[in-house]
Structure 1
């Protein structure tokens, strides 16, 4: 698929909607930061919002004293990847992370899972609210049944041609603000 410079606003809106539909039911994401030593580090995190914010933002709660927060302070470019193997949905999000000091937003996103990690509650001094503004995302939504996937892969081995028509892929470019 082409980027947003060659697609209509309605197609981009459809892709954004598709992107969120692939993310929303995936319980955990792998949140990747660049560590001070230059290595990429990934950790499981839970996306807190129930829909993509109007400004194309994902939200996470993290420990202020943890390495991910220190990494973000050194390099704000992150990747968040989602894999729902039960549904064959895969998403890779690139974005810009920032710590946000907004108690109202924390209260809005607070839930029992966050309470389990931060037992002092929404005002726990260790709670960091992390915002990831999406700049680009790619998704793969496999539509073919497992049997069809196996058939297409076997056919590929015989023909030397890669499997085709197994599902939908797309790129979504967000307005970098």
Structure 2
């Protein structure tokens, strides 16, 4: 039987192995908007940090409606993290998380007031654990030629 800690470990592994996540938020016009974001850090799967510029439609939209989803995809599987986001002006945390990739995409540095953090507090994480490329290909082929449902890995939702 899979424990809650096992599930959190699977979610964390997938998130750590993902270089670029996809953040989805509700625009000021009510549309869903998705944008690639580099995950800077997560304390645990329930709290994720991104660096962004303050003066953007994304930040204005999240301040008006903090509901977000962050999608992760790696060789280990996929995670759909649902929760809320808030803008953080924590300069100490921004300095801690600032790296070369942030400097490549952002003007200024961690002391620049136009650079802020998005802190995502996850409520749930749905995950699909990948069985690996070879097994997935075999299972897919079995599903295409036979009557059996392919086994493409485990899927579950974790309350964070």
| TM-score of the superposed pair, with normalisation by structure 2 | 0.89
For residues 1-177 of structure 1, what are the structure 2 equivalents within 5 Å? 11-49=3-41, 52-53=42-43, 56-84=46-74, 87=75, 89-146=77-134, 148-164=135-151, 166-174=152-160
**Does the C-alpha gap of structure 1 residues 120 and 153 become closer, same or farther in structure 2, counting only changes over 3 Å?**
closer
Root mean square deviation, CA, Å: 2.1
**Does the C-alpha gap of structure 1 residues 125 and 144 become closer, same or farther in structure 2, counting only changes over 3 Å?**
closer
User: Contact 1:94–1:135 (CA<8 Å) still a contact in 2?
Assistant: yes
User: Contact 2:11–2:45 (CA<8 Å) still a contact in 1?
Assistant: no
- For residues 113-139 of structure 1, the C-alpha deviation after alignment (integer angstroms, 9 at most, x for no partner) is 112223321111211211000101111
Number of equivalenced pairs: 160
Matched residue of 1:167: which SS?
coil
Residue 159 of structure 1 and its aligned partner are, at CA, apart by 3.9
Measure the CA separation in 2 of the matches of 1:83 and 1:54.
17
Measure the CA separation in 1 of the matches of 2:132 and 2:93.
40
Unpaired segments ≥5 residues, structure 2: none
Compare the two structures and name the one with the higher strand fraction.
2
| TM-score of the superposed pair, with normalisation by structure 1 | 0.81
Q: Which runs of 4+ in 1 moved over 4 A?
A: none
Unpaired segments ≥5 residues, structure 1: 2-6
User: Contact 2:18–2:73 (CA<8 Å) still a contact in 1?
Assistant: yes
